């Protein structure tokens, strides 16, 4: 048995390590693996030949989980995650098709521990490594008379992280992912710029899914996601600005949902509260749930509390049981 799906995701951030319960959801939803939802920084696409070495460190801790309505989920819940990502990139000093060619590799190292009403678990080690054989920095050009920079990056995520289908927390997703993106930076004035990235994601088959899926293999869906940033140069070495989060959805107010419907914010289908709200969607009479307290799964012989979220592949709200940290 194989299940597949498609999702449209818009957001900003970086997810590297996932912590997922063995049960997934009552509808056997196939969640996307953790991916780079976009790391647009200031002056993102400005580049040239040379070597880049960057070390990113992150610490995440939560002593409670909340549902889509903002209320605490019952039971003892906590998560702690430490991640360290080594990023190496190099562009050769010669040009190909008028632009500079290079490559990159990102190696995440993680320690994560999770406690839920189901139990507790921890993991430490190398996560899924991202590499790109092709980064092409296009020739500099102008748009409306202002400098415009752009590049293409063909990222591949390898399943190098430790993975156990029965584990409460894992460092790997057990799938290959192809996650290319296009990035550009446009200098609107001498001090003001905006930078954006547009991503596409494809995932391979996972031949060892958790028991909650009820399948011998699963394949996470495809996704299209984007993010952006804008900044202003205060002085030559200091910029201040904002990062943009673009929310998907099919409503903004209750009246968009017709008679008897109403509009609500939803967490994503794979990371729950960690991923935050991904969009606003209509509740209808066809939904499998309306509140988080309706999402208690006892099909495996134990009780597990999840959250009620919008499933884009069916157009209905349903229960999910996946959580992330990273």
Residue-wise DSSP of 213-257? G-SSEE-PPEEEEEEEEEEEEEETTEEEEEEE---EES-SSGGGG
CB atoms within 10 A of CB 306: 26
Residues of the chain whose pLDDT is less than 70? Answer: 1-40, 66-71, 212-214, 221, 244-248, 269-276, 297-305, 322-326
CA 311 – CA 247 distance, rounded (Å): 15
User: Between β-strands 99-116 and 129-137, what pairing exists: parallel, antiparallel or unpaired?
Assistant: antiparallel
Residues whose CB is less than 8 angstroms from the CB of residue 292 and which lie 6 or more positions away in sequence, other chains included: 67, 68, 69, 71, 73, 305, 306, 307, 308
- Check: CB of residue 66 under 8 Å from CB of residue 72: yes
What are the angstrom distances between the C-alpha of 170 and each of 22, 79, 247? 10, 13, 28
Q: How many residues does the chain have?
A: 326
Give which of 33, 301, 311 is closest to 172, Cα–Cα. 33
pLDDT in tens, 294-322: 877 655 443 456 788 888 778 888 887 76
**What's the pLDDT score for residue 278?**
72
CA 162 – CA 3 distance, rounded (Å): 23
| Cα angle, residue 219 at apex, residues 216 and 220 outer, rounded to 5° | 135
**What's the pLDDT score for residue 243?**
77
**What's the pLDDT score for residue 18?**
35
CA 283 – CA 290 distance, rounded (Å): 7
| Claim: this prediction has a pTM higher than 0.75 | no
**What's the pLDDT score for residue 302?**
38
Residues whose CB is less than 8 angstroms from the CB of residue 70 and which lie 6 or more positions away in sequence, other chains included: none
CA 24 – CA 3 distance, rounded (Å): 13
Q: Which residues pair with 126 in a beta bridge?
A: 109
DSSP for 34-63, written as a single string: P-------TTTT---SEEEEEEEEEEEEES
CB atoms within 10 A of CB 45: 21
């Amino acid at each position: 048995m194989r299940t597949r799906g498609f999702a449209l995701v818009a957001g900003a951030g970086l997810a590297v390590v996932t912590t997922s319960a063995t049960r997934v959801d009552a509808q056997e939803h196939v969640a996307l693996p953790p991916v780079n939802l976009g790391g647009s920084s200031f002056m993102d696409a400005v580049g040239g030949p040379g070597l880049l070495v960057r070390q990113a460190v992150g610490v995440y801790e939560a002593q409670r989980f909340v549902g889509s309505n903002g209320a605490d989920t019952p039971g003892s819940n906590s998560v702690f995650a430490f991640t360290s990502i080594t990023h190496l990139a190099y562009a050769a000093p010669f040009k190909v098709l008028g632009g500079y060619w290079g490559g990159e590799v990102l190696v995440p190292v993680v320690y994560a521990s999770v406690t839920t009403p189901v139990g507790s678990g921890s993991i430490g080690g190398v996560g899924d490594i991202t590499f790109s054989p092709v980064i092409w920095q296009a020739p500099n050009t102008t748009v409306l008379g202002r400098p415009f920079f752009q590049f293409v990056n063909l990222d591949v995520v390898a399943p190098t992280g430790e993975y156990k289908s029965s584990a409460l927390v894992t460092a790997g997703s057990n799938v290959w992912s192809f996650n290319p993106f296009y990035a550009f930076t446009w200098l609107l004035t001498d001090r003001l710029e905006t930078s954006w990235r547009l991503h596409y994601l494809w995932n391979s088959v996972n031949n060892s899914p958790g028991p909650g899926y009820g399948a011998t293999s699963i394949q996470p869906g495809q996704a299209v996601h984007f993010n952006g940033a804008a900044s202003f140069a205060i002085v030559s070495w200091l910029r201040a600005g904002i990062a943009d989060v673009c929310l998907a959805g099919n409503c903004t107010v209750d009246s968009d949902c017709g008679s008897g419907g109403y509009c609500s914010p939803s967490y994503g289908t794979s990371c729950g509260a960690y991923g935050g709200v991904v969009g606003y969607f209509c509740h209808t009479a066809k939904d499998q749930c309306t509140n988080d307290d309706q999402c208690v799964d006892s099909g495996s012989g134990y009780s597990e509390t999840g959250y009620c979220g919008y499933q884009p592949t069916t157009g209905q709200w349903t229960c999910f049981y996946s959580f992330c940290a990273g």
